Amino acid sequence: MFDILSFSEKLDMPKKEDALVGRSEPIATAKTHYVNGHNLKGPYPENMRHIIVAMGCFWGVERLFWKISGVYVTAAGYTGGFTPNPTYEEVCTGKTGHTEAVLVVYDPKILHLDEILKTFWEQHDPTQGMRQGNDIGNNYRSGLYLANDEDLKIAQKSKAQFEKALQSKGLGSITTEIALEGPFYFAEDYHQQYLAKNPNGYCGLKGTGVTCPIS
């Protein structure tokens, strides 16, 4: 088994050599999206693009994005850490380095990356470090993980714009991790589209009330 880190330890990232070992094979997950029936893990249509977002507990985050016109599929998962193919229980220990994240596959002819970024910034508080509201730990940190250098630059520019808007309202600096994507590990079946299956389930999303000035 694995030990759960103390409160203070969960606010730090583990070193790679200290992370849980994980496994070589992916954990079992759903085959199709519960809401729209699309293949969860692909293949996706050739024209689709994607981004990985982390905004705290992935249940509410996934629902936020599957409702947006132009989104082809969403999936809950884990990214940003060290442990290959982790389980939910392992991620919750804080010893994988992963954050709860959502893969958003979208049609760029319908939905622009800037619109996704605007939703991302406005619908959570990106200034909280290793937490989101009452959800505390490195597995709840804010993050943007991009598919290529062009998207990365767009995301970094949006961060600078929103940070100015936040600071004009007396709020702190953005702590969001912005990087090129690494491996994305799909979460267990029961996490996929959780709030479609459990409409009254927990959703921790809460924005700052500040508008992101992306044109």
Residues whose CB falls within 8 Å of the CB of residue 206, separated by 6 or more in sequence, listed in order:
124, 125, 133
The single-letter code of the amino acid at 91 is V
Give the integer Cα–Cα distance in Å for 22 and 44: 27
Phi, psi of 159 (to 5 degrees): -60, -45
- 212 catalytic residue (yes or no): no
Say how far residue 128 (Cα) sits from the centre of its chain. Answer: 15
146 bridge partner residues: 180
**Active-site position among 57, 92, 203, 212:** 57
Give the integer Cα–Cα distance in Å for 122 and 69: 18
Catalytically annotated residues: 57
